[in-house]
């Protein structure tokens, strides 16, 4: 039997006075939940980015209305395009007065058996999910390193550890994100910068429901320890923890937000 969804945790000022940049934060998924949670936790300024112009602007406006005391900006960015990444980082640095926290949330999935997968499908998923995270991390470190501080939080997936049919491209990309997190974290630690990741299992939101049959999603959720999928805010809570000083001694960690049974 599925356990009930827990109450929404009250804010504790974990990011008071911080500035935050989040990719793929438009819509109703993990990125938007993380943006809202960061503002609730006291971030003074936030920039959310996404590849969809209308959704990006609507998300920024909605958050600005809900949090009038903070500064909220939207910026269109395709993390698969280096020029977009550079523009996003430069714009965020200027408008936020320097970025304290980067949350790399952008990723792309799909379902296809290896024998049927074209190079283009494989490359597209890896370019957004893995190489996009690398591009953002590289650009952000060039800004953070001279300041000697900052935190980067990556969104990985339990599929980086587990096997699942028709997910070879996504699983390979997320395993790469985990490895990138560990290796880049050791380099960044030399400059007082923390890089860690959260590894969600199944998280119910509109985008996921469009990408897989409901029967499959329900089956996967039933295997979890609580008998249900995670809510987006539950993953956002882990991201905020990793972005905050409560994780000051974590270097290259990948925190699993799942039962580890599936």
103 vs 12, 55, 72, 99, 198, CA distance in Å?
19, 18, 15, 11, 10
8 A C-beta contact, residue 155 and residue 200: yes
Q: Could you say which DSSP state residue 29 is in?
A: S
Question: Counting beta carbons within 10 angstroms of the beta carbon of residue 120, is it exposed (0 to 12), middle (13 to 18) or buried (19 or more)?
Answer: exposed
126 vs 103, 170, 194, 229, CA distance in Å?
18, 7, 24, 25
Strand partners, 21: 47, 102
Count of CB atoms within 10 A of residue 47's CB? 26
CA distance 234 to 242: 13
Phi, psi of 224, deg, nearest 5: -75, 160
Q: Which of 8, 170, 191, 246 is catalytic?
A: 170
Active site residue 170: yes
Count of CB atoms within 10 A of residue 234's CB? 18
Q: Which residues does 210 contact at the CB level (< 8 Å), separation at least 6?
A: none
Strand partners, 254: 197
**Of 245, 155, 235, 151, residue with least CA distance to 195:** 151
Active site residues: 170
């Amino acid at each position: 039997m599925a356990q009930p969804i827990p109450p929404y945790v009250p804010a504790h000022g974990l990011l008071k006075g911080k500035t935050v940049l989040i990719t793929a934060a438009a819509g109703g998924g993990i990125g938007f939940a993380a943006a809202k949670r960061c503002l609730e936790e006291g971030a003074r300024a936030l920039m959310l980015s996404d590849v969809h112009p209308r959704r990006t602007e609507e998300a920024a406006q909605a958050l600005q209305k809900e949090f009038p005391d903070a500064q909220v900006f939207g910026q269109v960015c395709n993390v698969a395009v280096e020029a977009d990444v550079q523009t996003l980082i430069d714009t965020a640095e200027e408008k936020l007065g320097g970025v304290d926290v980067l949350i790399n949330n952008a990723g792309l999935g799909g379902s296809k058996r290896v024998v049927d997968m074209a190079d283009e499908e494989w490359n597209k998923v890896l370019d957004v999910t893995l190489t996009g995270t690398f591009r953002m991390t590289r650009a952000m470190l060039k800004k953070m390193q001279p300041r000697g501080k900052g935190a980067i939080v990556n969104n990985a997936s339990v599929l980086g550890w587990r096997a699942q049919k028709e997910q070879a491209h996504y699983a390979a990309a997320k395993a790469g994100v985990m490895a990138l997190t560990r290796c880049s974290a050791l380099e960044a630690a030399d400059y007082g910068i923390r890089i860690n990741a959260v590894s969600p299992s199944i998280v119910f939101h509109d985008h996921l429901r469009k990408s897989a049959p409901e029967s499959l999603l329900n089956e996967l959720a039933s295997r979890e320890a609580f008998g249900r999928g995670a809510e987006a805010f539950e993953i956002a809570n882990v991201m905020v923890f990793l972005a905050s000083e409560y994780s000051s001694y974590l270097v290259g960690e990948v925190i699993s937000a799942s039962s580890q049974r599936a």
